[in-house]
Amino acid sequence: MKKLKNSPFLVLIILIVSLIVLNSCGGVPEEKGSGSTTEKNVFSVNEVLEMVSKENDVTRTLYTKAIVGKGKLQGMKFDEDWRKDDVEAGPLPALFLRGVATSIRKGPVPLGLYLGSDFPINNANKFEGEQESLFEDIKVTQKPKYFYDESQELYTAMFADLASAQACVSCHNDHPQTAKTDWKLGDVMGATTWQYPKDSLTYSGAVEVLNAYAQGTVDIYVEYLDEIAAFKSSEKPIIGDKWPAEGNYLPSPEVFLDSVRKLSSYDTMKTLIASN
């Protein structure tokens, strides 16, 4: 799979951070020791995990509604076995997220991501112990939970995962392995859990986390398009600047990420500037 190194989202974030760093407290990182420079830690880990969680909410909602939901109306298929050679389909939203997590795990940034629930389709995703208890509060308040996981020595944040599209509700209610068949739009279906080993980050460290997530999104989306290219019996959508709402089309990775940028980058920018 190719890497989309210069997506609009990544370029925007890098430019924002560069401007902030150059204009803050002397314009350059403070010096410590001979011939070395060290940036100050300016973000708590909770702030950074909240930023990346918001990016994830926007990306997944866009994929779920604009790709899966509208794509199904055009005859596109999405399946949990989408990677199998005899299955010509794309990833369901939960598997899209799993693909992002897998990409991040293979990279250099120590950011952990997974999706859990008290009624998962896959029992491996069922919350246990402290997370199960915290999730009970999340279902009521829909507010995030932050804690330090002693067993893994990781700072952890859990965010409510809502049924934001009918495609999610229908898929979970109708799945043969589902443990719950009465999901409704707006329900808290689970929680995304993010983990990081440090309690604070520099500007560049925060950018690395955001970039790792953005690259993970590109990687799984490109993998989906590669799967389409290998279709033998199914009609292949046209890849370009159009979306399934317009017909049998899918956006290119650049177009998809540009839409994410337009929907989410303003909130990210505000958070970055607020800590200046």
Domain boundaries, the chain: 41-268
More confident residue, 151 or 121: 151
Determine the pLDDT at residue 213. Answer: 95
* Span 68-90, pLDDT tens digits: 999 999 999 999 999 999 999 99
Residue 264 pLDDT > 80: no
Query: For residues 17 and 10, is the Cβ–Cβ distance under 8 A?
Result: no
- Place 3 in a pLDDT band, splitting at 50, 70 and 90: low
* Span 101-149, pLDDT tens digits: 999 999 999 999 999 998 888 788 888 888 889 999 999 999 999 999 9
Q: What is the mean pLDDT of residues 164-184?
A: 83
- Place 22 in a pLDDT band, splitting at 50, 70 and 90: very low
d(CA 257, CA 217): 8
Share of the chain above pLDDT 90, in %: 59
User: What's this model's pTM, rounded to 2 decimal places?
Assistant: 0.82
Q: What is the mean pLDDT of residues 44-59?
A: 94
d(CA 178, CA 189): 12
Share of the chain above pLDDT 70, in %: 82
Determine the pLDDT at residue 265. Answer: 59
Q: What share of the chain is helix, strand, coil (3-state, %, to 5)?
A: 50, 15, 35
Give a three-class secondary structure readout of the chain. CCCCCCCHHHHHHHHHHHHHHHCCCCCCCCECCCCCECCCCCEEHHHHHHHHHHHHHHHHHHHHHHHHHHHHHCCCCECCCCCCCCCCCECCHHHHHHHHHHHHHHCCCCCEEEEEECCCCCHHHECCHHHHHHHHHHHHHCCCEEEEECCCCEEEEEEEEECCCHHHHHHHHHCCCCCCCCCCCCCEEEEEEEEECCCEECHHHHHHHHHHHHHHHHHHHHHHHHHHHCCCCCCCCEEECCCHHHCCEEECHHHHHHHHHHHHHHHHHHHHHHCC
